[in-house]
Amino acid sequence: MSSVPASTVVRRGSTVSLLLLVVFIAMWEWGFQFLGVPSFIVPPASAVIKEGIRMWQVNHLLLHTGVTAGEVVAGFIIGSLLGAAIGYLLGMSATAEFALSPYILALQIAPKVAFAPLFILWMGFTVYPKILVAVLIVFFPVLVNVLTAIRSIDFDLVNLARSFKATRAQIFWNIEFPSSMPQLFAGLRIGATLAVVGVTVGELVGGNLGLGYLLVIGQGQADTPMVFVSILMLTLIGGIAYLGVVLLEGRVLHYARGRNRPPGQQA
Amino acid sequence: MYRLEYRHVTMDFPASKGAGTVAAIADVNFSIADGEVVSLIGPSGCGKSTLLNIGSGLYPPTKGQTFVDGERVEGPSAHVAFMLQKDLLLPWRTIRENVMFGVQIQRHSRAECRRRADSLLTNFHLDEFANRYPNELSGGMRQRVALARTLAVDPTVLLLDEPFSAIDAQTRIVLQRDLALTLKRAGKTALLITHDLLEAVTLADRVLVMSRRPGRIIDEIKIEIPDREDPIKRRRHPSVEAYVQRLMNRLGIGHDA
């Protein structure tokens, strides 16, 4: 254990992080040129920024980013609601879990992105197949985390509620649901990043909207800066989605903030 | 009328290996009068906690019956509240909300829940922590909150399963005094499971001794020391040593080679 106070860690860490960013961008801009890597393989940072501005004006970059972001949000919300709901239901019934676990496992093993062509065959070149891939890919980590949380609840807590004559619903809302929050949020964090993967694959497979579509265009025209811009925007969407989950988690799990304090020591 | 009564209570559990059952407790009979505090001691794994779970109505016994206030126990009862070694505080609730937990489950009005919680928090000198969260409190204070939560539902019978065994020795003495005083003032009936023989003697009117598994009651010792509400004063009483010695003999401590 280091004895450096937390505020010092944050200050020093931020400085180092910023420095690394500067070094990274400098390497990107001049490093590859210096090593003789042609700019159609790795375009320098300035070329990518220029391309971004051009795409904004000519290729409706904002529209495509907006469509992808919308699909990510829709897929993430629907997928996590479904995953959480089914996780809680299975958590309530050991029989249901036992009966359904082989199918859940099979679906979990199946690579979800492989369903993208199928969904496009079913639903055409609309936003729906992309959302559906995201739903499917977000569903499992959320479901598995919720199920694990419900399975690992301290049964003495349930007995405590039972001793006060709690109903099944009271036990769920007062003990099981709040107990599962840390693990639910761990699942949501994974889901937020996976939703971007699902949507991108869906867009790569078919359609004429979204950043995945721009990736396909960029590849077809051998326009490396365009591919780079699309990747950057996708990363940005994933980052914002992840940050959203982290902020929400901070609000919901506020009571756990002091948990690193040694036990017995008062605030 | 007895507050708590066990009649021919037997509990079998399925054996861990193979078929058949293992008897955890066998034909346990005892009763506790109104306002009486009874300690229960016995070797580890003799079924003390099982007895408590049966009394609180969480698990039905294989054979026999338990009665609370003359009524047969057929499930959790509003007259009984239990407290374990673990404080079982809910980390997402403030201290006040934790004390209110049982009362809320029993669907009392919000104002009533709050009134009861606040008066208990004052009694236990926890007012200033009402809006804190459990992870901000020390182990001893958390256990005090657990006791407040147990009392908030105003039970007639308290079932206490080694409530202070995870607390440091000095805090334990203070908590024992608080518990004894509270039980006396409120006239509560209590069954206290403990490993601490001194605690068993200083807190109770009577001590029950259980045998090894399958547990049965093998002795009953009446504690003839005054001032049950003040275990610190009782500790200094000259006859305490003899009681503890007798309990040690009964449990075979110091005799088995």
Instruction: Identify the structural domains of chain A with CATH numbers, from first to last.
Output: 43-257 (1.10.3720.10)
Residues of A in contact with B90 (CB under 8 A): 157, 174-175, 178
**CA atoms of A188 and A182, how far apart (whole Å):** 10
In a domain, residue B188? The reply is no
Residue B150 lies inside a defined structural domain of this protein: yes
Q: Label residue B235 exposed, middle or buried (CB < 10 Å: 0-12, 13-18, 19+).
A: middle
Alpha helices in B67-109 (DSSP H): 95-105
Q: Is B146 domain-assigned?
A: yes
Distance CA A43, CA A19 (A): 22
Structural domain includes residue B90: yes
Tally of structural domains, chain B: 1
Say what the pTM is. Answer: 0.86
How far apart are the C-alpha atoms of B32 and B160, rounded to whole Å?
14
Question: Domain containing B143: what range?
Answer: 86-154
Nearest Cβ partner of A264 from B76, B82, B138?
Answer: B138
What is the ipTM for the molecules in this complex?
0.90
Q: Do A258 and B57 touch (CB under 8 A)?
A: no
CB contact under 8 A, A156 and B106: no
Tell me, yes or no, whether B19 lies in a domain.
no
> Low-confidence residues of chain B, pLDDT below 50?
257
Tens of pLDDT, residues B198-230 = 999 999 999 999 988 888 899 999 999 999 999
The predicted structure's pLDDT at residue A3: 67
Cα dihedral A104, A110, A113, A119 sign: negative
The Cα-based distances of A182 to A124, A145, A148 in angstroms read 38, 9, 11
Question: Is B213 within the bounds of a domain?
Answer: no
N-to-C CA span, chain A: 20
* Residues in B lying within 8 Å of A, measured between beta carbons: 53, 56-58, 75-78, 80-82, 84, 86, 88, 90-92, 101-102, 104-106, 132-133, 135-139, 153
Q: What is the pLDDT of residue B48?
A: 87
Per-residue pLDDT, A72: 97
Residue B240: enclosing H or E segment and its boundaries? helix B240-251
Which residues between 101 and 160 in chain A have a beta carbon less than 8 angstroms from any beta carbon of chain B?
A: 154, 156-157, 159-160
Residue B2 in domain: no
Q: Is pLDDT larger for residue A137 or for residue A97?
A: A137
> CB-CB: which of A165, A174, A261 is closest to B78?
A165
- The pLDDT, as a whole number, for residue A2 is 55
In a domain, B128, yes or no: yes
User: How many angstroms separate the CA atoms of A227 and B29, rounded?
Assistant: 81
Question: Range with the lowest mean pLDDT among A29-33, A174-178, A191-195, A259-263?
Answer: A259-263
Task: Give the chain A residue nearest B137 (alpha carbons).
Answer: A266
Nearest to B139 among A161, A256, A264 (CB): A264
The predicted-structure confidence for A190-220, as pLDDT tens digits, reads as follows 999 999 999 999 999 988 999 999 999 999 9
- Reported as a single tens digit per residue, the pLDDT across B62-78 is 999 999 998 999 999 88
- A175 neighbors A134 (Cβ within 8 angstroms): no
Query: What integer best gives the mean pLDDT of chain A?
Result: 91
Query: Among A163, A175, A251, A260, which would you mutate to test the B interface (most chain B Cβ atoms within 10 Å of its Cβ)?
Result: A163
Mutation target to probe the A interface, by most A beta carbons within 10 A, among B79, B116, B136 is: B136
